[in-house]
Amino acid sequence: MSDTAPPQTTGPDAAAGYQPTERTVPTRSRDRAAYDRELIHSILDEAYVCHLGFIRDGAPVVLPTLFGRVGERIYVHGSTGSRPLREAGRTDPGLPVCLTVTHVDGLVLARSAFHHSINYRSVVVHGIARTVTDPQERRTALDAIVDHVVPGRSADSRPADEKELAATAVIRLDLQEASAKIRTGGPNDEPHDLTLPHWAGVVPLAHGYATPLPSADLDPAIGVPDYITAL
């Protein structure tokens, strides 16, 4: 599948965002790269799952996980027995990682198989993950991860107790080396393919929420909170 499309209107703007680096400037389709802070934050905040990549025993590992953003920091949590979370605390200055999120907004169907693609919004963050040890920052991070899934939920649930906190590790990744890449628009068929008898266009993908399903053991008197119905 190809990754070519009409040029994007969203381009690098280092003055209003993150400074491009050798790792954040793509080798292909550079016109799709963006470094604007608000854009990158919005793509991150709309994603539920990130993929955290690192090197373990000389081999690459990529793990899907929940995350939360507080200002210019991304937080990830997991068991204290988790390999990447342990290594972030053992290595100095921390664990080199690459964190990514991707939204697929549409399926781009071209007349030729080569030019099929997707419309997407993605973010790649490079940096050093460090273990969070400060108690207040840990609680802020854990609340942010819960609220990232459903805004307002952390205030409407029991906070982690001391035993749970002791079993939970938190790492942070500063948003310093970050970039977005975006594709929009239709297929980019070759001129000589335009008369072929094949349908071409975009199949948009929409994100939605179904009716909340209460837990089987939930008190019937407890209704669905407004912050959930607001989704």
Lowest mean pLDDT among 28-37, 88-97, 120-129, 132-141: 88-97
> Which among 61, 99, 112, 88 has a CA at the least distance from the CA of 175?
99
Please check whether residue 8 lies inside any domain of the structure.
Answer: no
Residue 26 belongs to domain with CATH number:
2.30.110.10
At 126, list the tokens. Answer: 């490079």
Lowest mean pLDDT among 16-20, 138-142, 167-171, 194-198: 16-20
Q: What is the pLDDT of residues 46-63, one digit of tens each?
A: 999 999 999 888 899 999
What is the residue-wise DSSP string for 43-65? HHHH-SEEEEEEEETTEEEEEEE
> Which among 189, 137, 206, 190 has a CA at the least distance from the CA of 165?
137
Q: DSSP character for 202?
A: E
**pLDDT for residue 12:** 42
**Cβ contacts of 85 within 8 Å, gap of 6 or more:** 76, 77, 78, 79, 131, 169, 170, 171
Please check whether residue 1 lies inside any domain of the structure.
Answer: no
Query: Given pLDDT bands bounded at 50, 70 and 90, which one contains residue 170?
Result: very high
Please check whether residue 92 lies inside any domain of the structure.
Answer: yes
pTM of the entire structure? 0.86
Please check whether residue 200 lies inside any domain of the structure.
Answer: yes
CA–CA distance, 101 with 44 (Å, rounded to integer): 7
Q: Which domain holds residue 176?
A: 14-229
Query: Given pLDDT bands bounded at 50, 70 and 90, which one contains residue 39?
Result: very high
For residue 29, how many other CB atoms are within 10 A of its CB? 15
Number of domains in the chain: 1
